[in-house]
Amino acid sequence: MELYEKIKKFVAIKPVAMNIGTYLKDASQVCKIYYEMNMLEGLENREEAVKKEKELEKEMAKILEKWGE
């Protein structure tokens, strides 16, 4: 899953000390995205799951963009 790969990419970021607060804030958001991603498997409506996955991918892309990934 592409979203999972983006999450792994975020986890590999090594923030400098002055960015640690921002990184932790974004890490909290990434955890939320990961949790929601895992819940997608339980959705019976496949169209709704795909729609939600695309929304999560957009959120993850914004976070990675901030970190230059």
Statement: residue 6 has pLDDT above 80:
yes
Tokens for 44, please give them.
């019976």
Contact (CB, 8 A) for 63 and 7: no
d(CA 49, CA 64): 22
Amino acid letter for position 16: V
Average pLDDT for residues 33-54, to the nearest whole number?
89
Instruction: Please report the pLDDT score of residue 18 as a whole number.
Output: 80
Q: What is the CA radius of gyration of the chain?
A: 13
Global model pTM greater than 0.85:
no
Tokens for 11, please give them.
């986890």
Statement: residue 1 has pLDDT above 70:
no
